[in-house]
Homo-oligomer: A and B are copies of this chain.
Amino acid sequence: MKKSIALLILLLTALANAGEPRPPSQVIAEAPAAHWRRAAPENTLYLELENGRVIIELAEQLAPGHVANIKALTHERFYDGLSVYRVIEGFVAQGGDMDGNKPVGEGKRTIPAEFSRKNIPAKQFTPLPGPDGYAPQTGFVHGFPAARDPKTGDTWLVHCNGAFAMAREQSIDSGGTEFYAVIGPAQRYLDRNTTVFGRVLEGMEILQQLERGNQAGGVLENPDNNRIVRMRVAADLPDKEREEFEVLKTDSSSFRELIAARSNRPEDWFVARPDYVDVCSVGIPTRRAN
C-alpha cells in the first residue's frame, strides 16, 4: 500500500514535470521524500573548531581505507587539540599533526592511496551530458561529485569546493592523517593525485573564517590559532549533540531534473543560457533533518 502511494507520488511528480521547466530552487523544494537519503551518522565527521562545527560526509564506497582510518584516528581522539595549520586563501585548509610526532593506535600514519576505484558499477554513476577538460566523463556517485573513465572503469571523486581529501608527501602511499578541504574554486588538477574521501555538508563558512598561513607553503606562524577543539564521528555522540542531514539522492529523477535546470535556467531573469553545467557547479542539495 505504501509502495503504491509512493508510485502515485512519483507519477504525479512526473506529470507535473512534463509542464513548464522548474527552476532549481523549486526542483529541490518539491523533491519527494523518497528522493532524499539520510547522511549516515557513522560516516559523518564533526570537525569542531573554536568558531563552530564543520560537518563532513565520508565516502565509504569510494575510499573505504581512508574512511576507516580517519574514523579510527577520530575514535582514539588523535585530532583533538591538533590544528588546521595550513590555510591558503582560495585553495585549501589542511589539518592534522603538523609535527608528525603524535602517537597513533589503531589509526595509521600512512595508508595505501585510493585515488580511484574500479568496482563502482557504471549504473551507480549519474553522468553529466557536457564536456569536461579534466576527465573523460563527469557526474555523481553515491552523493558525491565524481569522474569516470569508461575505458578503464575507474571512478574517482573530484576536487570541487568542499572536497575533503588526504594530503600526502612524495610517495603516493604516504598520506593517512593530514586531511584537507578545498576552500576555493575547484582544484581539479589535484584529481587522482590525492585521495578524495568526503565532502563538507555544512560549515564551509567556518573553514573560510580560519586564519590564513603566512609562512612558506601557507603554514601558520601560530597554528594553535586554528585549533581543533575535537573531532567526532556523529554516531558516537548522544542524540542531542547530533545534527542530522538529508542529501538529495544523486541517482533520483529530482537530481537529474536539477542538472537540467542548472544547465538551462528557466527563470525569466536569465538572458544567456549555456546549456551546460560543470560537475562542481550543480551543487548537491543538503538539508537539516532535525
Contacts and interface: CB of A to CB of B under 8 A. Distances in A.
Interface stretch (A29-37, A39-47, A203-211, A224-232): A203-211
Contacts of A204: 89-90
Contact of A188 (B161, B265, B274): B274
Nearest to A168: B269
B186 A185 contact: yes
Copies of this protein chain in the complex: 2
Given A90-B204, A170-B268, A189 B131 contact: no
A279 to B, nearest CB: 10
B205 A278 contact: no
B186 A281 contact: yes
A19 B258 CA distance: 48
Contacts of A184: 161, 184-185
A133 interface: yes
Contact of A133 (B161, B212, B265, B276): B276
Interface string A259-290: 00010010011111010111011000000000
Given A161-B90, A172-B271, A205-B212, A278 B188 contact: yes
A265 B186 contact: no
A133 B281 CA distance: 12
Contacts of A135: 274
Interface residues of A, number: 41
A281 B170 contact: no
Given A115-B272, A193-B270, A271-B193, A281 B132 contact: no
A108 interface: no
B269 A193 contact: yes
A151 B132 CA distance: 22
A268 B132 CA distance: 25
Contact of A192 (B130, B268, B272): B272
Contact of A209 (B186, B208, B269, B276): B208
A272 B192 CA distance: 6
Interface centre among A90, A268, A276 (most CB of B within 10 A): A90
Contacts of A193: 269-272
A137 interface: no
18 contacts: A90-B161, A90-B204, A131-B131, A131-B133, A132-B133, A135-B274, A161-B185, A184-B185, A185-B185, A185-B186, A185-B281, A186-B186, A189-B265, A189-B274, A191-B272, A192-B272, A193-B269, A205-B212
